[in-house]
Each structure stands twice: as C-alpha cells, then as structure tokens.
Amino acid sequence: MNDAAAPQGREGIRREGIRHGGDLTQAARLFPEAPAPWIDLSTGINPWPYPLPALAPAAWTALPTRGALDALLAAAAGAYGAPGPDSLVAAPGSELLIQTLPRLRPPGEVAIVGPTYGDHARAWAAGGHRVQGVATPDGAPGTTDVLVVCNPNNPDGRTWSPTDLLDRAADLAARGGWLVVDEAYADLDPGRSLCGHAGRPGLIILRSFGKFFGLGGLRLGFILAPAPLLDAVRAGLGSWAVSGPALAVGTAALADLEWQAGARRRLAGAADALDAVVRGAGVPIVGGTALYRLLDAGDARHLWRHLAQCGVWTRPFPEHPGREGWLRLGLPPDPDAMDRLAGALASFVRP
Amino acid sequence: MNDAAAPQGREGIRREGIRHGGDLTQAARLFPEAPAPWIDLSTGINPWPYPLPALAPAAWTALPTRGALDALLAAAAGAYGAPGPDSLVAAPGSELLIQTLPRLRPPGEVAIVGPTYGDHARAWAAGGHRVQGVATPDGAPGTTDVLVVCNPNNPDGRTWSPTDLLDRAADLAARGGWLVVDEAYADLDPGRSLCGHAGRPGLIILRSFGKFFGLGGLRLGFILAPAPLLDAVRAGLGSWAVSGPALAVGTAALADLEWQAGARRRLAGAADALDAVVRGAGVPIVGGTALYRLLDAGDARHLWRHLAQCGVWTRPFPEHPGREGWLRLGLPPDPDAMDRLAGALASFVRP
C-alpha cells in the first residue's frame, strides 16, 4: 500500500470504495498526516456501550447451547415487543440477514425506498433481482415483489407510518410479495416498530443489536417473519451461528429495559448538543436520528476532507447522485471530541 | 417441556433429535436425576482452551476493521501453512461454511465419505443435490460432481493420503467438480493438511478454529479455495461476519505456534490416558483423534444411558446404521472428571 500517494477528496472516496463508515484503517491510510487519535464519527453506533457483564468461561469455550439461545430470544422478544421468542431468529449481525433474504425467493422486482443503506440494493442485485430505488413506499410500482424500507431511514432519518406499512405488507402478501422493514435504528423510537405484528403474512423485520447498544463488534441481529421463512433462515445459518459472548451479552442487554430507557434519553440529549455545535458553525442539519445527524454541506467532499485532515472521520455519500451535499456525523463520545469537532468546523474555509 | 416424561435410551436419542454433542441443556432435560455437575465429553473440543488475551474495548464496541481482518488472515495463513492471506476467507464458524457451499453450484451428485459429521449430507441435500455416502474417496462413482472428505474423519479418525486427495481434486476439477476437505481436526496432525495447496482448481478446504483451540463459543472458521469461489463466499457473508472478539482472539491464538505445539503434545498424552481408562474397563477403542476417542460399546445405548445417569455426557451415533456400537468420548478436563468416568465405566453392567 502506497501511503505517500494516498488519494484524497472525492476521488479518494471512490477509489478506495468507501461503502461503510467505521473503518479507521481506511482513514489512517487516506490521511496519514491527520492528528491522532482519530475521532470516529463515521457510524451510527452508540458511543456509550452497554456495560459488558462478566462472562462465564463456557461462553467462550463451549458450543452455544439451546438454553442460551432460548434466553436470548426471550429477552429480544421482550425488548422488541414481539409476540414471543418463536417470532425471531438470531444471526451474527443483521448484515448477514440482508445478504440472506435475496436467496430465499426467486428473482423478481425489488423496490427500495432511498437513498438508503446501500447493502440492500447490492444484495438483491447480486441475488439476480431487478432493483429500483423509489422515493417513498407509495412510489413502488404495482409489479413490485419485494419492497424494502428502512424505518427510520439511514442516513436521512425519514420515518414511515406503521399503519401505512402494515397496509403495504398486506397488499404485497396478497400476491406473494414481501415488505422488508429494516429497523436497525428503531430502538430509538420503539413506538414506530412493527415487531408487535411479527408473523403477519409478507412482513419481514430486521433488527440490529450493535448500534443502539454500542457493541458493533459483537455481531448480533434478528429477523422477525412468518414461521416458514424463519425456518429457512435458521436452516441456512446452521447450528451455533451466534457466538457465546453475543448470546450472553445480548441476553443481559436486551433484558435491561431500564438501561435502554436511559440510553434513549442520553442519546437524544447528545444529538441536541451536536446539532447546536453544527448549526453554530453555519452548517444546516437536514435529517438523522438520535444516533447520527445528517448535514447538508454543499459539496460535502470539501468538509469531509477538511474534517479528516483534522482527525475527524465522517461519512459522505458520493454514491447517491444529487446528495453530494450529505455528510453524516455520529455522536462525539466525550467533551474533548466535541471540542475537536467544533474547532475543525470553525477552521473550515469553504473553497 | 415435560421433564417428568423425559424419554431415555435410543428412543430418547431419536425423539430429542440429538444431532450434535455439546448441549448440556439437552442432557439435563433427558436425565434430570443425574449427579451434578455434568461432565461434558460429548464434543471433540480441547478442554484446555487457549488463554484469552486482554481485549481492547474496540473489539466489542466498534465494527470490525479491515486491518483486524487482515491480521487474522495473516495469522491463519501462517498457522495453516497456506500460500498467503488471500488464500482464506474467515466466517463465524465452519458450520456456516458447510451450509454455504451447496448454494454455490447447481444441483448435482455429491458423494460423502462416511459415516461422518452429519451436517455435510444435510446441507447438500437441503441445497437440492443428490447425496450418497461412500466408504472411501476411491469409492465415489465417476459421475460425482462433489466429493466431501473429512480428514481426519469424525468420529472414527480415519485419514486419507494428501497425495491421493490431490489426485482426486485434479480429477474432479477437470470436469468442473469439487473436492471438499473438512480439516476440522487437522490441527492435531498438520502434516496431513492440504492447506499448502490452497488455490488449486477444484480444491476446497474447511478449517475450524474452536475445536483445537478449545473456544467453540467464539465461532470462527475458514475456507481455502480458488479465488472466484472465495469471492462468492465473501459476498454472501457480507461485511463484518466475524466478531471483534473472534478477530482478536483468533489472531493471537493462530500466531502462537508455540502454544499450538504444546497443545498437540498435551492432547496426545491425554488421549493416551483416556485410552488406558477405557481399555481398563474392557471397552475396545476403534478409532478417533487426540481430541476424541471412539469406543465400540456393543449396543451403545446402554453404556450411553448408564454414563448419562452418572452425569457423564457422551455422543452415540444411532443415525449411522450398522454403527450402533459407536460411542464417542472427548477428553476429561481434569483428574476428577477422569475419576468419575472411570467409576462410571466400572459400575456399568452390560444388560
């Protein structure tokens, strides 16, 4: 790897293939001169993680047991308001579930409400489906077999009415279709979740554990769907797909409703504080959730590069035509990080 | 679950669907009166695990980085003698890779050298392939598209010559076929591994991390194969399939060649000690590896039930017709466990 020739700006973004935030390996390669330590604002992961419980040695050494999995599913059903533990299947991250769904039905027409998290479109296209982006759930054509909606949406935070989504699921189910609702950020606003309706025909819900609980390295996610589809997902994952540490930590965290309520309050306050700093620097905020804020930075490559040169790693969206102004910022983890962000924003000179 | 009516004996084995060892939830349900604690000899997992290194908080909190994955692949390539880190793809357990392979080629004829680990046959059959068992690699019919061999084999420990297997891979590759070599227990005898030949046409190798390193809960496995197949596996797994703790612990353990050499010696000695106890009780040993020993117990359901009633959980094979005598024992983890096993064997009265 030739660091001396590290590409920067939009070419850098494109040439390096930045598809996701969260990889400081890439940041350090592109901007070797940036001041350490890097402040990683490139993801929507809670910077105040659920405190790790003490793990029994068997969580590491033994094959995960059915009993441990049952406990996790019961805790998840409780946290998500699902009808019961049989409503869910656990996986090593919701990303793997995104890759799995397109294999479980014959190629068809897929409409994805966007711009949104890019792996949905990539996975369905790789599975041989015809994929098109639509601006709203109602904008999907009548021939749609699968409609994918992120609720709330990443990165702009748009939300959709649960009642409307249930209607769309019923429409799709009536002709053998699916509504896939990615609720990766729904922990922030549980009232908007469809998990209470899990099991309805045609309704598929994905949940991500790592974002809200601040444990992205743990790899844990869930799918809620009608039983035959859950059976197919379970069979494809094989035995023991979820690690012993993920079973133990996930069970403790999902059962801890008090921590979850506190985290919602803390995140909401932190998002407000971030907004104040960004707006104070004259940059408008155009969306987001309490785990990330979406800025309109004009031509975002300039602010992205400037922040990176200051050691602040953020997420631009050059892959979305017409959204070149978007820049997504996660929550600064502490006052020092907020100060460094504020200083970097203040020293930015628009070209 | 009605514990009072817990079925026992072969009916219990069948009715409960015991497909794998390692789940004491099941043991306790079937034999609620057994003395605690259970001694779990039902798997082939090293009872002396690699000592967990201190984990950086980011291993839990952050999304796994490309740099962490590269370090793991380099350590794995070194430990396995693979040509380089590009020869491997990491997954959350080799079990998931077993489920993945049948989806990556059109339905065809699959020959599996057995009796062996049952999930190979289940996964290929579920993928629409025609599956037959064969007694040896040379016994596969000329129409075979995919030949699956476990080397060494589980549970009987049979091994196959690397040279012969490479010849079979070349034969199969010449007509678009695959040789799948499951090396889940090859760490015990690295000289027999084909990993040094990874990348050859038609040759697919699976490695399991958890068994030899005694960390079955971590979920980590590898596939070595020609580059286009690795690309397909990688795409199906999506980003971040391997957890941060698995990346960190796996990297440390796979790079620790001295620990690995010591573990080989210790396991060989422990297997000899187990053999002495079993033979002293008059039960013949018919195969195995240094991580498990295979007994011929006549009609194994009797000895299996007796040991379970003594709190010793072992693995019978009622699913293999003609092998009803087989009983597999893992290594007792300490002298107390060995004593309890010896006592249980001594008190067995053949019906």
Provide the pLDDT for residue B5.
Answer: 31
**Which residue, B297, B326, B330, B291, is CA-closest to B115?**
B326
**Minimal Cα distance from B242: which residue of A?**
A219
Provide the pLDDT for residue A19.
Answer: 62
Average pLDDT over residues A260-282: 98
Provide the pLDDT for residue A18.
Answer: 54
**Minimal Cα distance from B71: which residue of A?**
A25
Tokens of A57: 């040695």
Residue-wise pLDDT for A165-213, tens only, equals 999 999 999 999 999 999 999 999 999 999 999 999 999 999 999 999 9
At B180, give phi and psi (nearest 5°): -100, 115
Q: Which residues contact A306 (CB under 8 A, 6 or more apart)?
A: A344, A347, A348
SS3 A222: strand
Q: Judge whether A30 is closer than 8 Å to chain B, CB to CB.
A: no
Provide the pLDDT for residue B19.
Answer: 62
- Specify burial of residue B73 (Cβ count, 10 A radius: 0-12, 13-18, 19+): buried
**Where does the pLDDT of residue A10 fall: very low under 50, low under 70, confident under 90, or very high at 90 and above?**
very low
CB spacing of B24 vs A65 below 8 angstroms: yes
Euclidean distance between CA atoms B342 and B314, whole angstroms: 14
Q: Residue for token digits 């068809």? A: A108
**Chain A residues 164-203 within an 8 A CB cutoff of chain B:** none
| Distances A92 to A65, A101, A181 between C-alpha atoms, Å | 15, 14, 18
CB spacing of A240 vs B95 below 8 angstroms: yes
Average pLDDT over residues A71-98: 97
pLDDT exceeding 70 applies to what percent of chain A? Answer: 94
Instruction: Give me the residue from A66, A99, A243 closest to B218, CB to CB.
Output: A243
Q: Judge whether A237 is closer than 8 Å to chain B, CB to CB.
A: yes
Which CATH architecture describes the domain A58-255? 3-Layer(aba) Sandwich (3.40)
Tokens of A18: 């930045």
Type of residue found at A296: D
Domain boundaries along the sequence of chain B? 3-48+259-346, 58-255
Contact B297, B283 (CB under 8 A): yes
Enclosing H/E stretch for B324: none
Q: Smallest CA–CA separation between B102 and chain A, in Å?
A: 10
CB spacing of A216 vs B245 below 8 angstroms: no
Q: Which residues contact B261 (CB under 8 A, 6 or more apart)?
A: none
Euclidean distance between CA atoms A22 and A13, whole angstroms: 14
Euclidean distance between CA atoms A117 and A67, whole angstroms: 34
Instruction: Tell me if domain A3-48+259-346 and domain A58-255 are identical in fold.
Output: no
CB spacing of A239 vs B61 below 8 angstroms: no
Type of residue found at A172: L
Instruction: Give me the residue from B24, B119, B245 closest to A217, CB to CB.
Output: B245
Enclosing H/E stretch for A133: strand A130-134
E strands in B218-257: 221-224
Neighbours of B84 (CB within 10 A): 12
Fold of B3-48+259-346: Aspartate Aminotransferase, domain 1 (3.90.1150)
Burial B227-238 (b: 16+ CB within 10 A, else e): eebbebbeebbb
In chain A, residues with a C-beta closer than 8 Å to the C-beta of B330 are none
Residue-wise pLDDT for A300-336, tens only, equals 999 999 999 999 999 999 888 889 999 999 999 999 9
Instruction: Give me the residue from A59, A61, A219 closest to B240, CB to CB.
Output: A219
Residue-wise pLDDT for A16-40, tens only, equals 445 677 678 889 999 999 999 999 9
ipTM: 0.92
Instruction: Give me the residue from B25, B65, B98 closest to A24, CB to CB.
Output: B65
**Where does the pLDDT of residue A57 fall: very low under 50, low under 70, confident under 90, or very high at 90 and above?**
very high
Intervals of chain B under pLDDT 70: 1-19, 22
Provide the pLDDT for residue B2.
Answer: 32
Euclidean distance between CA atoms A222 and B185, whole angstroms: 31
Type of residue found at B150: C
Residue A66, pLDDT above cutoff 60 = yes
Q: Judge whether A96 is closer than 8 Å to chain B, CB to CB.
A: yes
CA dihedral A53, A58, A62, A67 (to 10 degrees): -70
**Chain B residues 44-83 within an 8 A CB cutoff of chain A:** 45, 49, 52, 57-68
**Which residue, B178, B181, B185, is CA-closest to B232?**
B178
Q: How many residues in total does chain A contain? A: 351
CB spacing of A217 vs B243 below 8 angstroms: yes
Select the residue from A66, A220, A243 to test the B interface by mutation, using most B Cβ atoms within 10 A: A243
**Chain A residues 119-148 within an 8 A CB cutoff of chain B:** 119, 123, 126
| Distances B283 to A193, B153, B232, B274 between C-alpha atoms, Å | 59, 21, 47, 12
| Distances A38 to A93, A333, B102 between C-alpha atoms, Å | 25, 12, 43
Q: What is the mean pLDDT of chain A?
A: 93
Provide the pLDDT for residue B152.
Answer: 98
Contact A232, A56 (CB under 8 A): no
**Which residue, B48, B73, B40, B21, is CA-closest to B264?**
B48
